[in-house]
Amino acid sequence: MRKEEFAELSAGHALGALSPEDQTAFADAMLEHPEWADLVSDDLNTAAALADTIPAVAPPRALREGILAQINSVTPLAVTESEDAVSRSRPARGRWGSRAWFALAASLALVLGIGGGAVYVSQQLSTPASVVALDRIEQAADAQSATTTLADGGEATLHWSASEGEAVLVSDGLPTLTEAQAFELWYVRDGEAIAAGVFDASNGEATAVLSGEMHEGDVIAVTVEAAGGSADGQPTSTPIIAIETGA
């Protein structure tokens, strides 16, 4: 491993943002190159300084959301068991060099007013988009929610904010589907169904953010469709969930 590549891993390690694969590579490199220990120490000290020296302030909401949107747009690289896939993933990490990691952490600590900025970066990079969207909704002044019971006893709660234009469905007790099926979300607006994404449920539980813009008055529905969603963009089965958002 080249020292430049190790420097990137060291910065990610200091921010708690390494994938399990990269954490293993970092540990192996430390054993092979003990002379690089000073670099690791410097990175840890820098991360600690970011966390300890920034006073908390209330950030402008639009600026905060803009930075969070940029963070959540970073898609983790898919890792397979193939060594070829691992080697292909290496160059992409170079776009997030050590300077970039610390610039991002510093901007978050300064703009968001969070003392533990470095830890916050790690959390945001690993937080599902649905959870981030739910947090935005709950922070909105017009946040609302409604709960419905499924025919077989399950439960679904819709959280939405018209000002944010977002909706998230949190469900438990969903029916078990085959590998050829998936749950599909819909906005039902003015009598028309608008596809809003598909999702799977682990053990009958799911937290799913609807794609597209939610409008006040929409009915949010869920149907069971073929894996990947309805082929013609329209529901092919009776909704198992339908929640009104009000006029």
Residue 1, CA distances (Å) to 6, 30, 34, 126, 156 in order: 7, 10, 13, 26, 49
Identify which has the larger pLDDT, 175 or 11: 175
Q: What is the pLDDT of residue 188?
A: 96
Shared domain for 116 and 206, answered yes or no, is: no
144-149 β-sheet, strand order: 144-149, 155-161, 166-172, 206-209
50 and 92 part of one domain:
yes
Least confident among 65-74, 105-114, 128-137, 207-216: 105-114
Model confidence pLDDT, tens digit, residues 137-186: 999 999 999 999 998 889 999 999 999 999 999 999 999 999 999 999 99
User: What was the pLDDT predicted at 186?
Assistant: 97
Tell me how many degrees the CA angle 103-132-208 measures, rounded to the nearest 5. Answer: 145
pLDDT over 50 (residue 9) = yes
Residues 74 and 147 in one domain: no
Kindly report the average pLDDT of the chain as a whole number: 77
pLDDT at position 71 = 54
Let me know whether 91 and 38 are in one domain. yes
Does 223 lie in the same domain as 172?
yes
DSSP state of 153: S
Same domain for 7 and 123 = yes
14 or 136: whose pLDDT is higher?
136
Show which of 81, 104, 127 is a domain's final residue: 127
- Residue 82's pLDDT is what? 45
* Together in a domain, 87 and 27: yes
- Domain boundary pick from 127, 159, 183: 127
Indicate whether 24 and 117 sit together in one domain.
yes
When divided into structural domains, the chain yields a total of: 2
Q: Which of 96, 127, 158 is the last residue of a domain?
A: 127
Residue 120 above 80 pLDDT? no
* Same domain, yes or no: 234 and 188: yes
Sign of CA dihedral 27, 47, 6, 77: positive
Q: Indicate whether 123 and 138 sit together in one domain.
A: no
pLDDT tens across 43-54, in order?
A: 777 766 665 555
pLDDT confidence of residue 55: 54
pLDDT beyond 50 at 207: yes
Task: Label residue 59 by pLDDT band (50, 70, 90).
Answer: low
| Closest among 104, 47, 94, 50 to 73, alpha carbons compared | 104
Residue 225's H or E segment, with its range, is strand 219-226
Q: Based on the fold, state whether residues 116 and 177 are members of the same structural domain.
A: no
Q: What is the Cα–Cα distance from 220 to 208, expressed in whole angstroms?
A: 12
pLDDT at residue number 129: 82
Which pLDDT score is estimated for 94? 43
Domain of 39, in residue numbers: 3-127
Measured distance between the N- and C-terminal CA atoms of the chain, rounded to whole angstroms: 60
